[in-house]
Amino acid sequence: MTLFRRLDRLRLIALLLWVLPVAALLPFGAFWLWQTGMLYAWLTAMVLCSAAGYGLQHWLLRKDRRLLADAATAPDPYWPPKADGAWIAVGRLAEGVKPEEWPLNDGGQLWQLGQNTLDVVARYYHPAEERPLLELTVPHTLLIIERASRDLRATVSHHIPLSHRLTIGDLLRAWRWKDTAKRLVNVYRAGRFVINPMDALLSEAWGHLRGQAYGQAWTETQRWLLREYVRKVGYYAIELYSGRLTLADGEPDAGLTPASRRDVANTAEQACGTGEPLRIVVIGRANAGKSSLINALFGQLIAATDVLPETTAGLQPYRLEREGLTAALVFDTPGCDTDRLNEKMLRKAALEADLILWVCAAHRPDRQLDRLRLDRLRSEFAARPDRRPPPVLVAVSHIDQLRPQREWQPPYDLLNLQGAKATHIRAAMEAVAGDLAVPVAGVIPVCLAENRVYNVDDALWTAMLDRQNEAGKVRFLRCLEQRKRVENWTLLRQQMVNAGRLLLKQPERPLD
């Protein structure tokens, strides 16, 4: 009754007079269908059409769910390993978000949800801190909000229909008139029951089903928006805490790092690019065939006079460019069991490597030193959660000297073993894999003897290309660390200069 008092009665009468002729068609039409015997056919057709419409709506809802699922933010494959656990925590928070608990029209609630997300990531990286959010710097906090808002804007614009036309005022006005619209719809439904009870009952039944479908679609959209909001904020929070979110723009591996610039200058080859190369370090014991492997990788003996067995005294870089491989610097190292070895130099080269080629002789069973050196490097890599460990490939050399030594008729099928030579090569691979604690798939048998080079251009080269993407992720984080160091010094220098200028502009105070 309150609704009728608010309406102008004359306008209501005018509206009823306008609607009456159309509304009269319903009872008269039903009466005519009953007279002609078509009423049941019409009811059947209405039921079938409503069922088809409901089925189509249900299919569209499932399709929208798939589209929204495909549009969800995914973790960055270039994150360091520690970020995986943080992303799992963000995913659990996103999955637990309920639209009824976090209304989209409540800005305070959304801010609280974003703060909860930041707190989840901060607590993962600083579990010992009582208030881990205080570990964020002000510029990085603003950068998280900026990046998350930018990405969420693009996502909403691309996946929510008419989002580019609806304003905040439209949504608020629609929300304000929601209760009034519900009361008007209830009046209309009551009138239908009076005019045509049968039609009203059927329409109510199917309308309820359609309403459920549309309501579910809207709920799914709300849930997706909230989850995507959590994922976006969590994504950039992980970017920050994992060291990937820098205040400068651009890719961190766009240019040469200072170390690679010096190494490129020391190579005999002409540099053909300005991008940061992959750093491939060849490590192994004396006489294992490290230098011979480098020569074989180049496809010709271009370094025959410079890289001789047992004469490598220090790190010697060579620029390698072959089809399918990103430009790389290959470093020859002294034998890890020789007096020439500089422990600190080898450790630094390995820690800065994007890919490690470990050369191990097949005919030498004493591999304890190789395992000791490799385990030390593994411990060093494990102590750096902000960096990815480089992939390790083991090249098993001197396979031509395995029994029977006089037999050498490559190629050898190491999956379907035939003959004693192939059997012994496979056994050497498995022994090296067990002794060095590496998977057999990462062990490549090669022959590096003059005029007998075998399995380098096919199996070893293929294995290197397969791990190029993983090595690229290692390079990315290596360059990022270097870029952060440069950025910190650059920002500090700018801040000091600007602070000095500000002090110089201050008027001098007279002495008392």
Examine the domain organization and report whether 86 and 165 are in the same domain: yes
Q: Is there a single domain that holds both residue 418 and residue 353?
A: yes
Give the per-residue pLDDT at 412: 93
For residue 212, what pLDDT is reported? 46
Residues 177 and 266 in one domain: no
Same domain, 381 and 428: yes
Range of the domain at 169: 38-241
Is residue 187 a part of any domain in this protein?
Answer: yes
Amino acid identity for residue 378 in this structure: R
pLDDT at 509: 54
230 and 363 share one domain: no
- Give the DSSP H or E segment for 380: helix 368-382
In this prediction the pTM is 0.67
Residue 235 in any domain: the answer is yes
> Are residues 91 and 116 located together in one domain of the fold?
yes
Same domain, 187 and 262: no
pLDDT digit of tens for each residue in the chain (512 aa)? 444 455 556 766 776 777 777 677 777 777 787 888 887 887 788 788 877 877 776 676 666 666 556 667 888 888 888 888 999 999 999 999 988 888 877 777 888 888 889 889 888 888 887 777 776 666 767 777 777 777 767 766 665 665 655 565 555 555 555 555 555 555 545 544 444 454 444 454 444 444 444 455 567 778 888 888 899 888 888 887 776 766 655 555 557 888 888 888 877 665 555 678 999 999 999 889 898 999 899 876 554 434 444 455 568 888 888 888 888 999 988 888 766 567 788 888 899 999 999 999 999 889 999 999 999 999 999 888 888 899 999 999 999 999 998 899 999 999 898 899 999 999 999 999 999 999 999 999 999 988 899 999 989 999 999 999 999 999 988 888 777 666 655 656 666 767 776 677 766 555 54
CA dihedral in degrees (470, 472, 475, 479; nearest 10)?
-140
Say yes or no: 366 and 412 in one domain: yes
* Dihedral Cα 477, 482, 487, 488, nearest 10 deg: 100
Residue 114, both tokens:
């974003």
Is 486 a member of any domain? Answer: no
Domain boundary among 212, 241, 270: 241
How many structural domains comprise the chain? Answer: 2
Let me know whether 171 and 272 are in one domain: no
Q: 241, 272, 292: which is the final residue of a domain?
A: 241
Give the span between the Cα atoms of 430 and 400, in whole angstroms: 17
Write down the pLDDT at residue 301: 55
Query: How far apart, in whole angstroms, are the C-alpha atoms of residue 176 and residue 172?
Result: 6
* Helices assigned H by DSSP within 71-137: 83-95, 107-125
Query: Where does a domain end: 177, 212, 241?
Result: 241
Q: Say if 274 falls within a structural domain.
A: yes
CATH number of the domain that residue 322 is part of: 3.40.50.300
- Same domain? For 310 and 210 the reply is no
The H or E element spanning position 329 is: strand 328-332
Cα separations in angstroms, 386 against 389, 441, 451: 10, 27, 44
Same domain, yes or no: 312 and 177: no
**Residue 362 DSSP symbol:** T
Residues 135 and 266 in one domain: no
